[in-house]
A and B are shown apart, each in its own frame.
Chain A
Amino acid sequence: MIASVLFWISALVAVVAGALVFKVDSMARATYALALSFIAVGVAVLTMRQDFVGIIVILMMVMEMAIMAVFMISYMGMNPALMPMDMTHAKRPAAAIATIVFVGLGAAVLLIPWPVIDPQPVEGLTEQLGEAMMGSKMLVMLTVSPVLFATIVASVVLASPRGRYDRYGDRLRGPAHDPEPGGLGR
């Protein structure tokens, strides 16, 4: 009963805060609203007795929103990120598409004859998950790991102002084309 009440409160907060992300006129407020929505979803997951995933979602998203706020202010300057502004386009088509998707998916959810199972908490779920990731599901983690590493490399390559091709040209030969020579002999 308590879990059910807690779920509905968190579900309501998640949806309202999610809607506020695109309703409030300051991007800093939008970031806080999104963080609140994520925390509410994390609490909803916790009410379904998935402690590890729920805690991970809450911790990760709070950190992610903090980073997002820093990026937003650094790109847009202090004033536009914190002051009211409206930077949207195609609001009506977007609202129409979102409504169609909501009606379509909602109808599918209500019309599918889902099996009725009385949910029971699973003992030692976090331990099972850890053993699965290090055992039978190792291949999944072995795939995710290089993807995460490739993400680090790709992000740095995208974000770095000057790479090796900027310095040495397309053939990577010749003296480095640097605005200032570096090293001991400069």
Chain B
Amino acid sequence: MTLQLVLLVAVALFSIGLYGAISQQVVVMVMMGIELMVNAVILAAAALWWFLTPVVDIQVLLMVVIAAMTVEMAVGFGVATLIHRARRSDMTDDATELQQ
């Protein structure tokens, strides 16, 4: 177990999450992709703490990342509820005017 190999695992998780976030149509599935990407960030930050700088600052950073994940989930569900109420659908293709 070396830093490079752990970071490669994190990169693989990040790439899978990115694929899902781009390719999925359902809002909840897009959120799953983003969650997978944040999951990779948690693994990478934990590895950097373990292999490079075992100081408590990175642990605090990890707490912030986990909080960001919670915020993303809560607001994402709020938006999904709003779209579902307005369009009776939870597909990203029904909310394309957000691009404008």
Contact = CB atoms under 8 A, between A and B. Distances in A.
A22 B52 contact: no
Contact of B7 (A99, A109, A129, A140): A109
B80 A75 contact: yes
Nearest to A11: B9
A156 B38 CA distance: 24
Nearest to B77: A71
Contacts of A129: 56, 59-60, 63
- The interface size bin for chain A is 35 or more
A53 B50 CA distance: 12
Interface string A70-99: 011001100000000001111101110111
Contacts of B4: 109-110, 114
A45 B43 contact: yes
Contacts, number: 216
Interface in B15-48: 15-20, 22-26, 28-29, 31-33, 35-36, 39, 42-43, 46-47
A44 B43 contact: yes
A99 B43 contact: no
Interface stretch (A145-153, A164-172, A173-181): A145-153
A66 interface: no
Nearest to B23: A94
A147 B28 CA distance: 22
Nearest to A100: B15
Nearest to A107: B11
Contacts of A89: 23, 25, 93
Contact of A75 (B9, B50, B90): B90
Which A-B residue pairs are the 6 nearest by beta carbons? Answer: A158-B78, A94-B23, A98-B19, A94-B22, A102-B15, A155-B78
Given A22-B29, A44-B43, A45-B42, 18 more contacts: A14-B9, A15-B9, A48-B46, A50-B62, A60-B70, A64-B70, A64-B73, A88-B24, A89-B25, A95-B19, A97-B22, A101-B15, A109-B11, A137-B56, A140-B60, A151-B75, A155-B77, A159-B78
